A and B are shown apart, each in its own frame.
Chain A
Amino acid sequence: MAPTDRTGSDPRVTEDETAGDHLPPSQAGMSPAAAEVGAAERGEEWAREAERQHWLKSPLATLILQRMGLSVLLLFAVSLLIFVGVEALPGDFAQTYLGQSATPQAVANIREQLGLDRPATARYLEWLGGVLQGDFGNSWASGRSISEQIARRLGNTLMLAGFAALVSIPLAVGLGMVAVLYRNRIPDRLINALSLAAISLPEFFIGYLFILVFAVNWGWVTFPSTVYDGMPFGARLEAILLPGLTLVMVVLAHMMRMTRAAILNVMSSAYIETAQLKGLDAFRIIAKHAAPNAVAPIVNVVALNLAYLVVGVVVVEVVFVYPGMGQYMVDAVTVRDMPVVQACGMIFAAVYILLNMVADIIGIVSNPRLRHPR
């Protein structure tokens, strides 16, 4: 699958930055007064200074800080793309909003009312300032505050996605291990074929299949999955059971295939072959040799795949008429309510970038070559 080949834990990156490491703090600029200080005290100070420098210059910290800085930069660029890029596209909001038969006067009025007559840069800065303070402005369609709506819906979406993540992660890792353990035998082939099929199924197909079987034919759960404020936790859990399971199906297959690949990657390295040739039994090889090295790529894969949830949740919410962010965004797109679309797009992109950053940082932290400066 596409995102497997991402790098981010490349140890070579740090080489030029850490080349001048480990020199004690420069003594050249020391004042005569400092030289008076007792030798013991000075030594202690040096040690502390060296430790501070050491932490600052450790390639690990540098890499992580770099990666975080990159994410902030990326978020900024995305906001620019979502606001200005959309601005540059052809199509007049006011015209589409009112329809083809609108008089020029009405179009001009609505442009003024929405503030579209002001220059784009001013509007962008104002919008960005608001976003940084958690204010996304008002919806064009309803005129109400977007932040209020999002505050209510974001929790719903996070709960749904969190449920899916909680179920799918252990399942994916477990199945991935089973597939590797029985590699090229029947369980592996079965898991492989099923996950290939699951990847190919569109989210809405799985969703409606579940609804037809579980809600309509068997009557186990209710449809649509409405949740409201002050709903008891148990009832809420029951409501998100079906959409949650659909999401699990969507993410599980991707995650499992990549977990399998990550474990196989470790298993096909030379030291595992050595362990096999030494005559160690399979359990010892996996527990003592493979697992410590496989944990990092697996965690990385999991974090990366949680990003699929961002896209999956949009469709699943529409299928199950679930009041979350995805439903909000799709509704806004159909009526061309741009402030809402931009706000939702920004939030989804931010979550996606955050998850990718976490995946990369885990990849960096778990690389033992970067933990100690050379």
Chain B
Amino acid sequence: MRWRSIPVSAWIGMAGLALALFCAVFAPWIAPYGERQVVGDIWMPMGGEFLLGTDNLGRDLLSRLIYGAQTTIFVALAATVLSFSLGVLLSFTAAVVRGWTDQILSRFNDLMMAIPTLIFALVVLAVLPQRLWILVLVMAVLDSTRVFRLGRAVAVDIAVMDFVEAARLRGEGHAWIIFREILPNALTPLLAEFGLRFAFAVLFLSTLSFLGLGIQPPEADWGGMVKDNKDGIIFGVPAALVPGAAIAVLAICVNLVVDWLLNRTSSLKGARGDG
């Protein structure tokens, strides 16, 4: 692959992702103040000593934003990885084993998808205790339904190919067929889907936190920061918009990279147009 062939939009996306990831990993070293440290008055304006101003309790907004990157990105990433492992494993199993296993898994998946994700999450989170790992698990399970759908469609196509047939005749077990025959050939479409799911997970986590059901204060996370600072909007304080913009920029960057990946794979297939 030549570097020149990568479009500018994809470079922008990758640069944005790299920056966010850098902030997330090295948050304690690059944040000018502590995550929970009260450093000044409430809602001080941007510029001056505090680059982005202060929040509703007088904490430095930039520092909270950097720490928030850590929480938001890692929780969303954990949920996405988990949902992918779950979705891919189950969908490939369904596609390889067929029969009743496929029927039960697919019909249950249909049932799960019949309820909007956010509504389902609200119902479930109303019962479960508020813990971080429970939140990650709920996000992962709900999201894995979407992965299952794509994964099954991809795997069914591959499972009827000659090399899979050959492996079956050789007497390989289901596990071999899933991990050694189908998975390597399904990676490209799944990679693009991974990006989309991650962007969705960031948005979803932020929405839950914004509604007060995601990550609990005083931990900084972008959706929760919007919730903390939303009352300032009426007084013309834009503090709530800063973390909101951060979420948007991160999601846009992911989408730019995914768009490029999808275009690359579809042009490989020689499809006419992109419809």
Contact = CB atoms under 8 A, between A and B. Distances in A.
A349 B115 contact: yes
B199 interface: yes
A264 B119 contact: no
A89 interface: yes
Interface residues of A, number: 61
B30 interface: no
Contact of A205 (B118, B125, B244, B256): B244
27 contacts: A2-B149, A2-B150, A81-B111, A81-B115, A89-B124, A91-B127, A96-B129, A197-B248, A200-B203, A202-B210, A203-B207, A204-B210, A208-B241, A209-B244, A211-B234, A212-B238, A267-B273, A268-B273, A314-B122, A318-B210, A329-B122, A330-B212, A337-B126, A338-B127, A349-B115, A349-B119, A353-B114
Chain B: interface secondary structure? helix
Interface in A262-286: 262-268
Interface string B143-156: 00010011001000
Contacts of B116: 307, 310-311, 348-349, 352
Interface string A44-87: 00000000000000000000000000000010011001100010
B207 A345 contact: no
A333 B125 contact: yes
Interface of B: 110-111, 114-120, 122-129, 146, 149-150, 153, 199, 203, 206-207, 210-213, 223, 226, 230, 233-236, 238, 240-241, 244-245, 247-248, 251-252, 254-256, 259, 272-275
Interface in A200-226: 200-205, 208-209, 211-212, 216-217, 223
Contacts of B240: 208
A2 B113 CA distance: 11
B252 A200 contact: yes
A314 B236 CA distance: 24
B241 A332 contact: no
B275 A205 contact: no
Interface of chain A, helix or strand or loop or mixed? helix
A86 B42 CA distance: 41
A74 B234 contact: no
Please provide the 10 A-B residue pairs with the shortest distance between their CB atoms, ordered closest to farther: A264-B275, A205-B244, A200-B251, A265-B275, A333-B126, A268-B273, A345-B123, A200-B252, A348-B119, A311-B118
Given A78-B115, A318-B211, A336 B126 contact: yes
A209 B211 contact: no
Given A202-B207, A333-B125, A345 B275 contact: no
Contacts of A74: 110-111, 114
A255 B125 CA distance: 29
Nearest to B271: A268
